[in-house]
Amino acid sequence: MIDRYRRLRMDERLRDMARETRIGKSSLIYPIFVEEGKNIIKEIAAMPGQKRYSPDTLPYALEELAAAGVKNVMFFGIPKEKDECGSGAFCENGIAQQALRAAKKAVPELYYIGDVCMCEYTSHGHCGIIKGDSVDNDKTLPLLARTAVSQVEAGADMVAPSDMMDGRVAVIRQALDEAGYIDTPIMSYAAKYASAFYGPFREAAGSDNFKGNRKTYQMDFHNRREARKEVDKDLEEGADLVMVKPALSYLDIIREIKDHVNVPVAAYSVSGEYAMIKAAAAAGMVDEANIVAESTVSMYRAGADILITYFAKEVAKMIDEGRIG
């Protein structure tokens, strides 16, 4: 017998040396929910272990992340008041803007990403201006551009439009360039599917006022080729990185996009994926750490260069311990 594949598995040091998929802490992004107010550190019931912070308590979370070696943060804001057009998203003193300024002052060495969308800020919970039973794509675009610029003015190092409006990358790129932010990158939620896996996020982000669904602007989960079309358009309009969301049930899409483009590909392991692991572990059905390790590696193995995950601190620890990486 010439081929004995077990030879490369017989020693842990050799397994590490011959490993195909490599994961580094620098590729992790941790999402944080920031609520308008003071002295807030509030547990999110739908996502055990995750919290909302106010700008004044935010440094505690950021310092913990920095100590763990997680260098990248994405902010989601929860305002006190909402309106039909989501004006809190682009307000100079909006909650995301407050969070960015506080973060830059407290822990400037981290890299801060602003999620650009309207859903946390609108009274109806949709991602833009409502017209009839859907969102008015073109009327929403200027508000997204204003939101992106306001976040960068407040300190965002990158913006990530998650709204799925057609043409939004182009208007955001133009607005950033005209404001002098030609070097600020855009990470587009390019292939974002209308998914049931987003459920816990609604409580976390305060968008549980939402009625109906987002199927008129987010992608149909039956579709694969459409993801390539969305990605191509966003890159044509000026996106610097692209994202697939969700991750775990869309590993085929991650691989499809990875093989299709020559820019970094991010994947977002979303709230429902996190909550299911937590619930199964709490019920004693699975080993949480091993499930987190295996599912995380699967996303990188599928082709993700960057992973947005609520398990970022746990994954960083596993990398330090040599369990993955």
Dist CA 325 CA 315 (whole Å): 9
Is 258 marked active-site?
no
Q: 3-class SS at 300?
A: helix
Catalytic residue (choose from 25, 82, 245, 258):
245
CA angle 65, 33, 83 (to 5 degrees): 160
Catalytic residue (choose from 192, 258, 278, 313):
192
Instruction: Give the Cβ contact number of residue 256 at 10 Å.
Output: 21
Q: 3-class SS at 251?
A: helix
DSSP H or E stretch at residue 189: strand 187-192
Distances (CA, A) of 136 to 70, 84, 194, 213, 216: 37, 12, 17, 15, 11
Dist CA 296 CA 317 (whole Å): 13
Is 139 marked active-site?
no
Dist CA 285 CA 242 (whole Å): 35
Q: 3-class SS at 84?
A: coil
Catalytic residues: 192, 245
